[in-house]
Chain A
Amino acid sequence: MVKVTIDGIEIEIPKGTTVIQAAEQAGIEIPRYCYHPGLSIVGVCRICLVEIERMPKLQVACYTPATEGMVVHTNTEQVLEARQAVMEFLLVNHPLDCPVCDQAGECWLQNFYMQHALHDSRMFENKVKKSKALQIGPNVMLDSERCILCSRCVRFCDEISKSNELGIFNRGDRAELQPYPGTELDNDYSGNTIDICPVGALTDRDFRFRTRVWYLSETESICPGCSTGCNINVHHNDQRTYKAGGSRVSRLKPRYNPDVNEWWMCDAGRYGFTHVDADSRILAPTRSIGEEQEMSWGEAASEIMTKLREVISVHGKESVGVILSPQMTNEDLFVARRFFRDGLGLKHIDFEVAPLTTGAKDDFLIKADKNPNTAGARLLGVGARQGSGMTVAEMLEAARKRKLRALYICHHDLANGFAVDVVEEALTAQDLVVFQGPNTNSTSALAHYVLPAAAFVEKTGSFTNYAERVQMIHTAVTPLGESKADWQIFRSLAKEAAISVPYFEAEDVFQALTAEVEAFSGLPYAGLAGQGIALRDGQALPESETVVA
């Protein structure tokens, strides 16, 4: 540990800490463009110059290690002048096209100009012309004139995605960011370059010109794209959806979590939210026997429960199969367990459907298991592997033979895991098929009743990732149409069956869950928000155990 003084604040920090990090710990923000804690340090933007006593020149705070007894000043006249000078230099050739720039509102040039510069322009010469609106990859647009050559994106591609697509070509103020000849910025993590670009040089093809960022609200969530459970922020546009083709969710951004995804997320997760506002969303409970007909929740619950009781009374409890989903939260699954297993006394409950094509994976963030809560479902014991009931495959076989008479299917498109005719034969042989989920699919098309479940951005709850870290999703936007959280749907059905589900909020469910399920016992609800809590002290499960579901 070394002791340093920054702007009069004395702090103790581990040896090797840089001045910029030490300042952060002292609560002092030194402006930065090229410095990013997740990337190597290059010290090129020069905005972080600070004064260090007994050093003749200003030093860059990002590169200089804080040493014992060092006295740093971040707001002397000399520092402020240098900072303003760098700011002025950065804007010399910048097009200042904020009114048409997508970055406006979250641009570090704008922010630091307001905080540290506020100078009048002295630049009366022509600016250097560079290429604009250049599509450098499937997701990323480049405007070289806005680029301040901080090289964050270059370093990201070299050090994090390790795909080395980008370079800075030419010299001096003619220097330009470009993909290497013959390549494009096309890797599984390319969207992160947009996040770390401090200016409007790299913009998101999916997002640009759709929403001004100041119309966006931000809600903490977890990416449901795979079992990694990358921490994200959902950026949603609640008031001006008409400006964005009706979509309420504008984009997903990674949220820092040192134990899970650091600062990053993959492109599949980033752009994988389109189902939320898709036309395929189920808006109301629907009866699809003969003519398709929308119904109220009350009607739907009572009809479904009546039919279910009929099946049970005629063919017994073993004639009903329940297929839950690892897309559902711990809370959803817990209420499902309480309703189907404990309440109705059903035996055949499972959630795992192995996909026909194995999901892509890598050794960084992308896991083959494309579900956010497989570990949670296992810990809650709602799978055939955990109980004694049939697996999904066995259920379909039994359904085809009419040993099963009713199937209750959540979220799954069974065609992803089984041949189409297998699913069709099984489902058409049933007296009752209920489908519950946010979007229609080939399975819902075969159901007698289709119930609208809220999408992950429309509900609060928790997922347990592959390493058994419990992390929270929060309601960002209100559920579309009549849809509601899965556990609330089970609650309505349970009410019809006079089974007690005495929960009003997701928190109530969670409290009951921690009281009842050993693996989760003692988890504080309040501690889940933010970075989540690891059930086994952050120890990751070996890959072989996290069998693809």
Chain B
Amino acid sequence: MAGKIISKFFDIDGGNTIDVYERHGGYQSIRRVLKKMAPGQVTDEVLKSNLRGLGGAGFPAGRKWSFIPKDSPKPKFLVVNADESEPGTFKDRYIMDRYTHGLFEGIMIASYAIGANKAFIYIRGEYVRQAENLVEQIKCAYDRGYLGKRIFGTNFNLDLVVHRGAGAYICGEETALLESLEGKKGWPRMKPPFPAIEGAFKCPTIVNNVETIAYVPTILQEGGEWFSELGSERNGGLKLYGVSGHVKKPGVYELPMGTSLREIIYEHAGGLQDGRKLKAVVPGGSSAPVLTADEIDVKMDYDSLAKIGSMLGSAGVIVMDDTTDIVRALYVVTRFYHHESCGQCTPCREGTGWAERILKRILDGNGRSVDIDNLLNIAGNIMGNTICPLGDAAALPLKSYLTKFRADFEAAVSDRNGVGKVADEPVSLLN
């Protein structure tokens, strides 16, 4: 095990400051890159590292960078997606708070690799303190000449801008983020064109998650192969797992890609409260299909989780013990996606609200037996039929909770304790 890369700064006092960062070897990687490497070599090294897009989609970062058209006369942009909004996910917040300059160094290297002279950090509006810290530390970096013109005496120029979101989950979707960055309503765009061809302000743009970028300095320092070997096959390096819910020690744990979910819950997060039994785990943020207690011997990497029908997503592990009302849990998740659906395309706009209202009715004790299959059908009708993945994000929990915990839902609809009991088929639409 390689110890820690990012999280070793979490425990250092003043780890967010430029001095402490430099004292621990910071800003060496970028110096070396600017002096000794061509942009293409940087991208190759990242390709070798098997660094995946750690925001959730898991697309290989180096490959994404290589999509930037080489001959485009337009300016290129790097956009760091710090709109961390997926319920159960809080790793990027730690990075921005405590590995601030590590993130900046990553931004500088990535910008150099793709030929960008301007980078944006798009941060969710609710991260007020984090945004303040970023702005403050960016100023320090400018003061020291690490940002701006002729960085480290080379011809490389870079400006870094913090852009605060206004509180919409959808703006974490990269094209909605770009719309929002351009000052428009956060509505996802149709693809193609992909952002690497036509992104922010119609220019080639790379959008990467905070964590992805934060690993870049180390990869360039230690080498792509070194990083790759830290993880599992095709899933390079370490990963920040955010564990929340019914565990003794919730928090962010930096572990190799492919660490088993059981190990994360029981060894690192301290296991469940005494006397409780594990009921369900969401492995990668609220949109990832739920796992039952029997499914936790899975390697936590993109490919292994995909194989068992779930996903690593943002690696926000939500642990639910046997006191959890699974119907209410699904209701809460669905209410979230209903609230956050942008409303642009039909299935997600109408389907999420519909599903939420059915679940609410079941919770109120007015469930009908047809509700379960109707919900499954609604989820199926949203799945894959929308512009962006928010539709899928809403449909996947519906499908997985209803399938894997069907008994809970059947109990809920048969145990009608509600005041206004309704028949299986409505007798009157005027009710």
- Give A contacts to B, CB under 8 Å: 41-47, 49, 57-58, 60, 63, 81-82, 85-86, 88-90, 92-93, 122-126, 128, 148-149, 167-168, 170-175
Contact = CB atoms under 8 A, between A and B. Distances in A.
Which secondary structure dominates where chain B touches chain A? helix
B426 interface: yes
A171 to B, nearest CB: 5
A81 B426 CA distance: 25
Contact of A125 (B340, B343, B351, B361): B361
A159 to B, nearest CB: 15
A168 B190 CA distance: 18
A173 B353 contact: yes
B381 interface: yes
B354 interface: yes
Nearest to A170: B343
Which secondary structure dominates where chain A touches chain B? loop
B345 A171 contact: no
A172 B338 contact: yes
Interface string B340-364: 1111111101111110011001000
A171 B342 contact: yes
B384 A173 contact: no
B157 to A, nearest CB: 36
Contacts of A124: 422, 426, 429
A174 B370 CA distance: 26
A165 to B, nearest CB: 16
A58 B384 contact: yes
A47 B422 CA distance: 33
B386 A173 contact: no
19 contacts: A43-B387, A44-B346, A46-B345, A47-B346, A58-B385, A82-B381, A85-B347, A85-B385, A92-B353, A125-B354, A125-B358, A149-B346, A167-B185, A170-B343, A172-B338, A172-B352, A173-B341, A173-B343, A173-B349
A163 to B, nearest CB: 18
A123 B386 CA distance: 21
Contacts of A125: 354, 357-358, 361
Contacts of B340: 171-172
A382 to B, nearest CB: 54
Contact of A43 (B170, B190, B358, B429): B190
Nearest to A65: B192
A171 B342 CA distance: 5
B343 A172 contact: yes
Contacts of A167: 185
The listed residue with most B CB atoms (<10 A of its CB), out of A46, A60, A168, is A46
B337 to A, nearest CB: 9
Contact of A44 (B185, B345, B370, B374): B345
B351 A89 contact: yes
B353 A46 contact: no
B64 interface: no
A56 to B, nearest CB: 8
Nearest to A125: B357
Contacts of A126: 357
Nearest to B373: A122
The listed residue with most A CB atoms (<10 A of its CB), out of B190, B343, B352, is B343
A128 B353 contact: yes
A174 B347 contact: no
Contacts of A168: 185, 343
Contacts of A57: 384-385
A269 to B, nearest CB: 33
A58 B358 CA distance: 27
A20 B368 CA distance: 40
Nearest to B390: A172
B190 A149 contact: no
Nearest to A82: B385
B346 A45 contact: yes
Given A45-B345, A46-B346, A172-B341, A85 B381 contact: yes
Nearest to A89: B350
B339 interface: yes
The listed residue with most B CB atoms (<10 A of its CB), out of A57, A122, A171, is A171
B381 to A, nearest CB: 4
Contacts of B138: none
Contacts of A81: 381
Nearest to B370: A122
Nearest to A149: B343
Contact of A149 (B338, B339, B349): B349
A175 B346 CA distance: 11
B386 A46 contact: yes
Contacts of A47: 346
Contacts of B190: 41-43, 60, 63
A90 B343 contact: no
A43 B345 contact: yes
B357 A86 contact: no
B206 interface: no
Contacts of A82: 381, 385
B168 interface: yes
Given A42-B344, A44-B387, A149-B343, 8 more contacts: A41-B190, A43-B190, A82-B385, A85-B381, A89-B349, A89-B354, A128-B353, A149-B349
Nearest to A62: B190
Given A125-B354, A125-B358, A86 B346 contact: yes
B314 to A, nearest CB: 21
B87 to A, nearest CB: 16
Nearest to B357: A125
Nearest to A171: B343
A262 B343 CA distance: 30
Given A172-B343, A175-B343, A123 B384 contact: no
